[in-house]
Amino acid sequence: MTKRDLVIRISNETGLVQQDVLKVIQKTLNYVAEALANDEKVELRNFGVFEVKVRKARIGRNPNAPVTDVKIPSRAVVKFKPGKEMKEAVLKLTPSKNDSK
């Protein structure tokens, strides 16, 4: 699903103009990104939590030259932890043992 798909779907369900829906969605995404850039945790109840974590520096391997070590510096990344309802909905997609060939 893209942002455009989301705009169309919300517009159709609410009767709001697509331009207005797009503005609200974009503003929301901008505020989430701004909060994360300020190292704030963003918690959306029943959806999930976005937070910034710092990955430690580590040594990686170049698959084309495995004898060469590559230093990977520490860096900040955004982590997402799904909320309970989302986690349960996604778990329903897990194939059972009977579904395997």
Tens of pLDDT, residues 32-70: 999 999 999 999 998 999 999 999 999 998 888 878 888
Q: pTM for this one?
A: 0.77
DSSP 14-83: H---HHHHHHHHHHHHHHHHHHHHTT--EEETTTEEEEEEEEPPEEEEETTEEEEEEEE--EEEEEEEE-
* 14-24 pLDDT tens trace: 999 999 999 99
Q: CATH number for the domain including 79?
A: 4.10.520.10
Contact by Cβ (8 Å): 54, 75: yes
Total domain count, the chain: 2
Domain assignment present for 7: yes
| Rounded Cα distance, 3 and 25, in Å | 8
- Domain with 27 in it: 1-40
Domain identity same for 64 and 36: no
Domain identity same for 61 and 35: no
Domain assignment present for 24: yes
Contact by Cβ (8 Å): 50, 41: yes
